[in-house]
Structure 1
Amino acid sequence: MSPSFSDLPSGHQTMLLAHRAMVTDLPRIAEAASRLAQTPDETRAVALSAYIDRVHALIAHHHEGEDAYLWPRLHDLGADENAIALLTAEHQELDKFLVEWNRVAHKLATDGSVASELARITLDVYERIVAHAEDEETELAARLAPVLDEAVWKGFETHMRKTAPLWTLRFMPAWLLMVAAPEELTGVPALPVARLFRGWLVRTQQAALG
């Protein structure tokens, strides 16, 4: 039987919430871009462009942390090499699409004609993120599980906190709080900060996503 959410180390809980936040936001972003394609709005286009830039940065930091810390640490502990190779390869493939997604999003701020293209690319990124998150969560609970322990997760949490851009300290906790069930709050880092900035994030999302 798989462990319940509450039984997982806090770093593992945070990772699951991060995946959920990604796959929750991407369809909303695609829908907002589609509406802009039909009804141009310069103010909303600028807000959406800025919001995507932040989400892209969070996803990129998430992957960079795994590639720079988690996978090498698991490798050193004798983890299944095929599982690590699979997830590393998926990151490399995903990064190509994420870079293009962010490039088009930046262009949206000054060129509303790319809204339709942005909607299409966002849905493509969404499908790839969903598939990768499923693979990653499966491998963490199966082939990689034998070497995962509290110390590994704690080290990963520390690495992510130390390498996070300062602006994420108010965005990321609130972002995860918005997708966490009441019984999953242990996976939200800096919960008081998350609660403090939740209203700000809701307003930011309303400006960008409607």
Structure 2
Amino acid sequence: MNNEPSGLLLAHRAMLRDLDRCAGLTADLARNSPRLDRKRAAAIADYLTDLCDSIHHHHSAEDDVLWPVLERSAGAHVDLTELTDDHAVLDPKLTRIRSGAAALKAGHIVPAELAADLADLRDTLHEHIADEERTIVPLIKQYVSDDEWNRVEAAIRKRGAKMTFEVPRILAVATEAELAETRKEGGIPVAIMIKLLPLPFKRRENLVFGGAR
């Protein structure tokens, strides 16, 4: 078996990119911008909420779909206790960020607590994802067949991620080779999303991040 869980790795890459820039943005705004205009405050708050939903979708899909397959395939070679414990602490962190985003949307001011919570989540997930990729990805490649991995990805897609948010973020971190493989595997529906979704998302990013990518 020589599985390359590229979808998992791309999701990690997109997640960490967003956490880095959202933590930096909110830290800067909490220090230097006492008040934002209503439209930008709402845009930032909505983006953070979508990011929290995306992270929850990702780690719950690992818990519910990927971990059982990996435990069945790798058996005694895998111990997911530490990674599962990491997942258990994520939802309270996401809840705090959602609350901070709601406060931002209502008051047009970035709370210092929101910036601190995003920095904490960024640091937590950088460490968690590094551990996951070091320990789990080799086991997927060795023990999970191509057919089984395809079933894992299909089951995760059925869980209903917000594609208008996920696809442009994946495209932003994918290499040309990864994009070509994505087009090949996804066919016409994926080709359409790749063509249509980035432009409105870029406008959204420009409002959130002030034109900085």
Fold equivalence (TM over 0.5): yes
Whole-angstrom distance in 1 between the partners of 2:138 and 2:46: 37
The alpha-carbon deviation at position 75 of structure 1 amounts to: 1.8
Alpha-carbon RMSD across the aligned residues, in angstroms, is 2.2
Shift of the 90–18 alpha-carbon distance from structure 1 to 2, 3 Å rule, reads same
User: Which residue matches 1:174?
Assistant: 168
Q: Deviations over 1:35-92 (max 9, x none)?
A: 4322221321111000011111111111111111110122223434753212111111
User: Which residue matches 1:89?
Assistant: 85
What SS does the aligned partner of 2:75 have? coil
The alpha-carbon deviation at position 191 of structure 1 amounts to: 4.2
Q: TM-score, normalised by structure 1?
A: 0.85
Q: Deviations over 1:143-182 (max 9, x none)?
A: 55432221232112111111114xx122211110011121
Of the three residues 70, 74, 91, the one matched with 2:70 is 74
Q: Deviations over 1:71-115 (max 9, x none)?
A: 012222343475321211111122221221222112210024443
Q: Which amino acid in 1 is paired with 2:204?
A: T
What SS does the aligned partner of 1:83 have? coil
What SS does the aligned partner of 1:79 have? helix
- Gaps of at least 5 residues in structure 2 are none
The 8 Å contact of residues 63 and 91 in structure 1, kept in 2 or not, is answered as: yes
Q: Deviations over 1:103-155 (max 9, x none)?
A: 21122100244432211111111111111111111112335543222123211
Moved more, 46-55 or 32-41: 32-41
Of the three residues 1, 22, 27, the one matched with 1:34 is 27
Pairing 1:150-189 to 2, within 5 Å after superposition: 150-165=146-161, 168-185=162-179, 186-187=181-182
User: Which residue matches 1:118?
Assistant: 114
Q: TM-score, normalised by structure 2?
A: 0.84
Whole-angstrom distance in 2 between the partners of 1:80 and 1:60: 27
What SS does the aligned partner of 2:46 have? helix
Whole-angstrom distance in 1 between the partners of 2:157 and 2:139: 26
Moved more, 44-53 or 132-141: 132-141
The 8 Å contact of residues 45 and 101 in structure 2, kept in 1 or not, is answered as: yes
Moved more, 31-40 or 150-159: 31-40
Whole-angstrom distance in 2 between the partners of 1:82 and 1:150: 19
Whole-angstrom distance in 2 between the partners of 1:90 and 1:20: 18
The 8 Å contact of residues 53 and 105 in structure 1, kept in 2 or not, is answered as: yes
The aligned length equals 201
Pairing 1:92-103 to 2, within 5 Å after superposition: 92-103=88-99
User: Which residue matches 1:4?
Assistant: none
Q: Which amino acid in 2 is paired with 1:170?
A: T
What SS does the aligned partner of 1:163 have? coil
Whole-angstrom distance in 2 between the partners of 1:170 and 1:156: 21
- Gaps of at least 5 residues in structure 1 are 1-6
